[in-house]
A and B are shown apart, each in its own frame.
Chain A
Amino acid sequence: MSISDPSAALLIDGVCKRYGSLQALDHVSLTVRQGEFFGLLGPNGAGKTTLISLLAGLGRADSGVIRVMGHDVVAGYRDARRNLGVVPQELVFDPFFTVRETLRIQSGYFGLRRNDDWIDEILHHLDLHTKAEVNMRALSGGMKRRVLVAQALVHRPPVIVLDEPTAGVDVELRQGLWAFVRDLNRQGHTIVLTTHYLEEAESLCGRIAMLKQGRVIALDNTTSLLARPIHQTLRLRLRGDIALPADLRAVARATADGRVALALENADAVSACLARLHAAGVGLEEIELVRPDLEDIFISIMREAA
């Protein structure tokens, strides 16, 4: 597929964006096909939100081209925006209105007048129907997040972009939200998602782009990314508080359950590593050799790009 595929849901070609002396996006090019579930990953400050704001027309690229369903986001902004639903990263709301008023007004902005049947359906899917007449101010953070999702859907956009929709959201809502977004994807909507939870990206996204300092450093199918012959991951639980040797510390990270994960080239590197640890007098309580998950891949790609 060429970069200028006219049927692409999103076409981003050579996009640069500078804020003062900071190069927030540096010649970003990527294409998202219709119907894809696409992940945009990267550490904080990588430029994910900047890229989303450019496709939504909230900012303007210094150079490059962006099209949404074939419509240029500057020259054809009306059609581009009609085809795009964006759930912003920030938890924003208008305190003057109720949930229903908010959704009716948002429909009106998109030129839709009698949209209540669809609004009720969205409210129902997002478990918001009991809150329809409640003022936005009175909603919890999770509820406000759902209204943001609902607002992005009022005009039934074929392309939906969610910018860290599960940041600071409880597990139950996260699962409900993902089930809903998966359904939308099954019905044919193209989904683009940024998230901090890599296991979410791994289980949801068919394809992933990794961004670092404004540059795309990896762009591949999730399965291909996971199949990268990068390494073995050795997970260890250390005994006592003896520090790792410096060369090993460079490839180590702490896991959530208090273990140490080491990304190593191959089986020889694993046995060499264990020998080093033994020589350094580091005691081991537990050893596990695992298939790398997206987080390991992510970290190793970020390191390679450094």
Chain B
Amino acid sequence: MSIALRTLLYKEVLRFWKVGFQTVGAPVLTALLYLLVFSHVLDRHVEVYGGVSYAAFLVPGLVMMSLLQNAFSNSSSSLIQSKVTGNIVFVLLAPISYREFYAAYVLAAVIRGLVVGAGVWLVTLWFVELPYAHPLWILFFATLGGAILASLGVIAGIWADKFDQLAAFQNFVVMPLTFLSGVFYSIHSLPAFWQTVSHVNPFFYMIDGFRYGFFGQSDVSPWISALVAGGSFVALTYATLNMLARGYKLRS
């Protein structure tokens, strides 16, 4: 890792860490509220896997949802802030390649996602006891899911010229895809049509694979989920690097 890449990564991590109350504390609290409300209200109404309580089922979904949203939020909001305030120029003036640029923003966002995800997991330990059937799958899907959303965040942050465009991207793309991915339910409990729809949502595979790491059971095989998530990451990385190489909206 070059010094330039390490510095940009360090700067990006320091940026969210300095305001950790908002960037880590707030999403952990939100996830906790979801857990308290949903697990209480839905416990008897939602059918999940045999032998797994609804609250236990919900926790990995919440961890992953928070992780994904915060990874997206980190790269996208950092980029749009730097663009709007103009301080992106300091990075653009430096001898940093577009690949290093991409790597730094994605890695920092993955770290933010993992820190928030770990935070949610830690506070929910008080309420729910979880099995850990395949810890490596847990780490694999957490990291890959974070990287996918980080990449999407880079695209959104570069594309958006204003904060409301970014908010639209978040509200109309990221939120629906996360909510409809099986965070709150097993898709087997859905009508056939919605099951089919869920299967074309890449977020579903990240959450399903992540959950497999805990319970050893899931809606689809973790290998299929790994393939879909891996493929999504490769495709997004390719698209983002292409954008950066052309200097789209950054080097006009």
Interface residues in chain A, defined as those with a beta carbon under 8 Å from any beta carbon in chain B: 56-60, 77-79, 81-82, 84, 86, 88, 90, 92-97, 101, 105-113, 151
Contact = CB atoms under 8 A, between A and B. Distances in A.
Nearest to B86: A92
A164 to B, nearest CB: 15
A94 B90 contact: yes
B92 A57 contact: yes
A167 to B, nearest CB: 15
Given A60-B251, A92-B85, A108 B6 contact: yes
Nearest to A106: B90
A81 B93 contact: yes
B227 interface: no
Given A82-B95, A95-B85, A109 B2 contact: no
Interface string B1-32: 01110111011001100110000000000000
Contact of A109 (B7, B19, B82, B87): B7
Contacts of B247: 60
A109 B96 contact: yes
Contacts of A79: 95
Nearest to A50: B252
30 contacts: A56-B92, A57-B93, A58-B89, A58-B92, A58-B251, A60-B252, A78-B95, A78-B97, A79-B95, A82-B95, A90-B86, A92-B86, A92-B87, A92-B89, A92-B90, A93-B85, A93-B87, A96-B15, A96-B19, A97-B11, A101-B14, A105-B7, A105-B10, A105-B11, A105-B90, A108-B6, A109-B90, A109-B94, A110-B4, A110-B94
A111 B3 contact: yes
Tell me what chain A mostly uses at the interface: helix, strand, loop, or mixed.
loop
B93 A96 contact: no
B133 interface: no
A92 B95 CA distance: 19
B13 to A, nearest CB: 11
A84 B91 CA distance: 14
Nearest to B92: A58
Given A78-B97, A105-B11, 11 more contacts: A58-B93, A81-B95, A86-B93, A92-B86, A92-B87, A94-B87, A108-B3, A109-B90, A109-B91, A110-B4, A111-B2
Nearest to A136: B87
A112 B95 CA distance: 12
Nearest to A83: B95
Contacts of A56: 92-93
Contacts of B94: 81, 106, 109-110
A78 B252 CA distance: 18
A110 B95 contact: yes
Given A86-B93, A96-B15, A96-B18, A112 B3 contact: yes
Contacts of B15: 96
A80 B29 CA distance: 48
A258 to B, nearest CB: 38
Contacts of B3: 108, 111-113
A87 B89 CA distance: 10
Contacts of B90: 92, 94, 105-106, 109, 151
A148 B3 CA distance: 22
Residue of B2, B8, B86 ringed by the most chain A CB atoms within 10 A: B86
B29 to A, nearest CB: 22
